[in-house]
Amino acid sequence: MPYPAGHRDEVRKKIIHSARRLFNRQGFDGVSVDEIMADAGLTRGGFYSYFGSKSDLYAEALACFFTDPEWNNSWEGVDIDLAAADSAAQIVRAYLSRQHFEDVENSCPMVALPSDVARSGKEAKQAFENVFQAMVGVLEHGMATGGQRNRVTAQAIAALCVGGMVVARSMDSRALADELREASMAVALRLAGWERGTGSELPLSRLSAAR
């Protein structure tokens, strides 16, 4: 009996979703193809009809909401509306939020997997670069004025967001990790002029939810 239309795409998405969660939790080397397929409710035998290797899957799992419209671009209590006028400020606050910090499995892969990417091949590095550049583009678009300075500022803000969360996740002290997140958020918002009192800032109720 033939599978319904769209079945193959749905299975592929299911594998990528499982891989992303497991890679975020355990790293590339810590997860086997068997584990990924079992988590997706599938058998290992079907894996190679969708992906050439675990490395190929890894590159696709590096997508984030900046490049994948179907990626769940929210953490509990923190939503991001990429179509909103203040989307760039929303991204900074959400990215460095307590909810993102705690939700390891659903992290943006740029936070969870950078050291793995650095040891990986060209495909994984290109996937990481694509996500980072997309993030920079969204941040740049959200700034009030154009020009080269905005591009440089957007790159610095993106690096603060990703790097700040990576370092915070590496801290043993939760208090120090929270302090670092808050510091990174404050500097990132200040760089783009999204400080408290500007038109681009979220209402205080949403800002509090994102912390």
pLDDT at 193: 83
Burial of 140 (0-12, 13-18, 19+ CB in 10 A): buried
Average pLDDT along the chain, 211 residues, taken 10 residues at a time: 72 92 90 95 90 90 81 77 83 93 89 86 89 92 68 94 96 97 95 60 36 44
Predicted pLDDT at 205: 34
Written out in words, the top-level CATH class of the domain with range 7-61 is mainly alpha
With CA atoms as reference, report the closest residue to 126 among 55, 47, 72. 55
Phi, psi of 75 (to 5 degrees): -120, 165
pTM above threshold 0.85: no
Report d(CA 177, CA 205) in Å as an integer. Answer: 22
What is the chain's Cα-based Rg? 18
Q: Hey, what are 79's tokens?
A: 């939503």
The Cα 80–Cα 92 span in angstroms is 10
Fold of 74-209: Tetracycline Repressor; domain 2 (1.10.357)
Question: In this predicted structure, what is the pLDDT of residue 144?
Answer: 60
Q: Is 167 exposed, middle or buried (0-12, 13-18, 19+ CB in 10 A)?
A: middle
Would you list the domain boundaries of the chain? 7-61, 74-209
Distance CA 161, CA 165 (A): 6
HSE of 28 in the Cβ direction (CA atoms, 13 Å)?
Answer: 21
Q: Tell me the C-alpha distance between 210 and 156, whole Å.
A: 21
H or E element that contains 60: helix 54-61
Q: What is the DSSP letter of 79?
A: E
Residue located via tokens 């700034």: 143
CA distance 129 to 171: 25
Per the CB < 8 A criterion, the answer to whether 136 and 159 are in contact is no
